[in-house]
Structure 1
Amino acid sequence: MRSSTKITDNIQMELDRESEEIKRMKDVKLQFKLKNISDKMIVYRFPSGCQYGFTVTKNQDTIFDSREKIGCIAAITHLKLEPGQTKVFPIHFKLFNNNKHLKKGTYKLNAFLLEGHTPEISISFKVE
């Protein structure tokens, strides 16, 4: 699967995988997209500069959790989405050992807005 979509309330969430062949963490290229599908502006408030996060799991074991690796500025921030507007968040593994070879198997990536603003959206990828 190269794309996953979930609609909840007034938001359409999409997770796109660009990578075809995955062997190392640096080969994982994903985008987390939020689209306002309502006719009103949506505003999310966050207690820090971090607005979204993601995890990578394999067999229920967490391999990577961005919340543990990324430092955030201590400032209140907002995410505003006008009707029809899409916000794209790149999924980066910069703080993870990018050359680490992943063991064969199926992994699941979960992406989400922090502070519980949206449910998680997931996509699987296979390492062969």
Structure 2
Amino acid sequence: MIEKDIVDLLDARLAAEVYYGMQPQPPDNIPAPLPVVIVNRVASVWYGGFFGTDTDLSRPGIQVDYYDETAEGARRLADQGRIALRDLVASSAGGGLLDSEISYYDEESRGWRVQQRWDMVDYSPALS
């Protein structure tokens, strides 16, 4: 459920469309409109111990990609997103930890991209 919390939070705070998974693609090789933010779960670790795996509690890795036509625009979105996600404690068992952040020009989207990798803790591993 943490993915839905992140999408809802960023959608409310950022001046960009926010999607889980991928942005709807226009036909005929036309570039998708920017700015846009894409949220994905890229990893999950479930806690375990003497009694086995705790399937109710996970440590998901969440990737948030911010796209815009300019490097400054993508950076501005990422800065605002970082502030919003830093203190997120919704369905999550704890706040997020920003693991990495990189930025570059993305040929495929024909725009600038800032990619953040967050480590979260979540009580409900499935997106509902």
Q: Same fold (TM over 0.5)?
A: no
Greater helix proportion: 2
- Structure-2-length-normalised TM-score: 0.39
